[in-house]
Amino acid sequence: MGFVMNQEEFSKTIENLSKNYRLYAPVIKKGEGRCLDEDIVRYDFVTKAEEIELELKSDYSFKEILLPLSETLFFFTENETKVADKNTSDVLVFLRSCDLHGLRRLDDMYLRNGKEKDFFYSRIREHVQFVLIGCPHSYKDCFCVDMGANKIDEGYVFTIEPKGDGFASEIKDDDFTKYFVGQSEHVKVSYVTENETKVNVPNNVPLSIYKSDFWREYDARCIACGRCTIVCPTCTCFTMQDTFYDPNGKVGERRRVNASCMIDGYTNVAGGGEYRKPHGQRMRFKVLHKIKDYKARFGYNMCVGCGRCDMVCPEYISFSTLINKLDDQIKKEAE
């Protein structure tokens, strides 16, 4: 079951949806890249079909809706603590298969790691549903197939992808049929079956690799900017941040902000303790989390192969290349 829509019908469908949902989708942000006239694609709320970017791969992931880069948790007055309000009206997030696989990682960390569900994550998560953007072709740097994130059969209400001059949607949840304007047709969502970039994720990572000189190369190459983790749909770390506004220190707030194990200060403990100062060691910590440590805890690999970290690295460090080099190194050491 599905719909085929021309541009006008798609616009009408989005208009219908936005009456009941806040739509969160990839959007081209003109000139917001780091260099002049460089556009980026990142997520934002939209109300019109034209705003939704369905062709380009987004530079930043959807995770900001669930884990805002900076989120106020509490407001403090002299003697009172107030939980910050949140718009919890229903949201539809437009994302690709890799990102929807990423969602499982976010849920596992915030809903299932430790005894308690994360309050601030849960209160928005409960109001979010997903629209799968079909991938008729792979993009440069994608390696979703080898990470098993190229295809997904559940967790979304309908799909959307450009088709010819128009758009096609496969309906998963019949409750959404009523929003659609277009030709009713049998539609199957497209997905990628082969990427140009291939990775061999090592099955067994020996402890010796932690101490290996393998990582030394990145001491110099990596500048510890953390862009790879900020764009990653599976990185979830945050840091608590307290602040007061007035000079008397009477009114203030507690926030949490995205944190990165690549950026200075991540491991600092009060009194000056710090772990993993060399950037290569941070690289090791991040990389082995993605393809080993996370799996040891949750039973499946963390990395979904979206390749955004490769796209964003200002020093041209390729995660996928690193994995393959690591695999070679492990095989070499085993000989």
Partner 1 sequence: MDNAYIPFPSKVLEVIKHTETEYTFRLEFSGDVKPGQFFEVSIPKYGEAPISVSGIGENFVDLTIRRVGVVTNEVFEKYVGDTLLLRGPYGNGFDVDLYNQGETVVIAGGTGVSPVRGVIDALSKSDDPQNKYAIVGFRSPDHMLFRDDLKVWDEKLNLTVTVDGADEGYQGKIGLVTKYIPDLPIKDVNTAKAVVVGPPAMMKFSVMGLLDKGFKEENIWVSQERRMCCGLGKCGHCRIGEKYVCIDGPVFNYTESKGLID
Partner 2 sequence: MGLDVNAKKMMKNAFRVSKVRGETASRVRIPGGLIDAKSLAKVTEIAEKYGNGNIFITNRQGIEIPGIKWEDVDAVKEELQSIIDAIGTNQVDDETGYPASGTRNVVACPGARLCPFGCYDTTEFAHKMEDVIFPNNRHVKIAFTGCSNDCGKVRMDDIGVMGMTEPQYDPDRCIACEQCVKWCKKRSVGALSMVNGKVYRDPDLCIGCGVCVHYCPTRAWTRSKEHYFRVVLLGRTGKVNPRLAEDFAKWLDEDSILKMGHNLYAYIEDYISKDAPNGKEHVGYIVDRTGFETFYKYLMKDVTPGPKAEIATTMYWGGKRYDRSNNLK
Binding segment for partner 2 (CB under 8 A), chosen from 114-122, 133-141, 193-201, 236-244, is 236-244
Binding partner selected for residue 263 from partner 1, partner 2, none, CB under the kind-specific 5 to 8 Å limit: partner 2
Using DSSP's 3-state secondary structure scheme, residue 323 falls into helix
Q: Between residue 62 and residue 101, which ones bind partner 2 under the rule CB under 8 A?
A: 68-70
Question: How many CB atoms neighbour CB 81 within 10 A?
Answer: 11
| CA 195 to chain CA mean position, Å | 19
- Residue partners of 29: CB distance under 8 A and separation at least 6: 39, 40, 41, 42, 44
Q: Per rule CB under 8 A, is residue 260 in the interface with partner 2?
A: yes
Q: Per rule CB under 8 A, is residue 243 in the interface with partner 2?
A: yes
Binding partner selected for residue 122 from partner 2, partner 1, none, CB under the kind-specific 5 to 8 Å limit: partner 1
Give the nearer residue to partner 2 in terms of CB position, either 262 or 323: 262
Give the nearer residue to partner 1 in terms of CB position, either 67 or 95: 67
Return the residue of 6, 18, 129, 241 that touches partner 2, per CB under 8 A: 241
**Beta-bridge partners for 163:** 166
Angle at CA of residue 266, ends 276 and 59, nearest 5°: 105
Binding partner selected for residue 69 from partner 2, partner 1, none, CB under the kind-specific 5 to 8 Å limit: partner 2
Which residue type does 9 have? E
**Beta-bridge partners for 34:** none
Give me 54's structure tokens. Answer: 């369905």
Contact 157, 150 (CB under 8 A): no
Residue 197 Cβ vs partner 2, minimum distance, rounded to whole Å: 23
Q: Per rule CB under 8 A, is residue 244 in the interface with partner 2?
A: yes
Binding partner selected for residue 307 from partner 1, partner 2, none, CB under the kind-specific 5 to 8 Å limit: none
DSSP secondary structure letters along 123-178: HHHTTEEEEEEP-SS--TT--HHHHT-S---SS-SEEEEEETTEEEEEBSSGGGGG
Binding segment for partner 2 (CB under 8 A), chosen from 35-43, 48-56, 93-101, 119-127, is 35-43
Q: Per rule CB under 8 A, is residue 236 in the interface with partner 2?
A: no
Give me 57's structure tokens. Answer: 């791969």
Phi and psi angles of residue 39, each rounded to the nearest 5 degrees, phi first: -85, 155
Give me 153's structure tokens. Answer: 């059969």
Binding site for partner 1 (CB under 8 A): 73-74, 76, 81, 83, 109-110, 113-123, 207, 210-211, 236-244, 249, 251-254, 256, 259, 261, 266-273, 275-276, 281, 285, 288-289, 293-294, 296-297
Rg (CA), the chain: 21
Binding segment for partner 2 (CB under 8 A), chosen from 25-33, 162-170, 183-191, 323-331, is 25-33
Binding partner selected for residue 117 from partner 2, partner 1, none, CB under the kind-specific 5 to 8 Å limit: partner 1
Give me 50's structure tokens. Answer: 């034209």
Give the nearer residue to partner 1 in terms of CB position, either 55 or 244: 244
Residues in contact with partner 2 by the rule CB under 8 A: 29, 31-37, 40, 42, 60, 68-70, 225-227, 230, 239, 241-245, 255, 257-260, 263-265
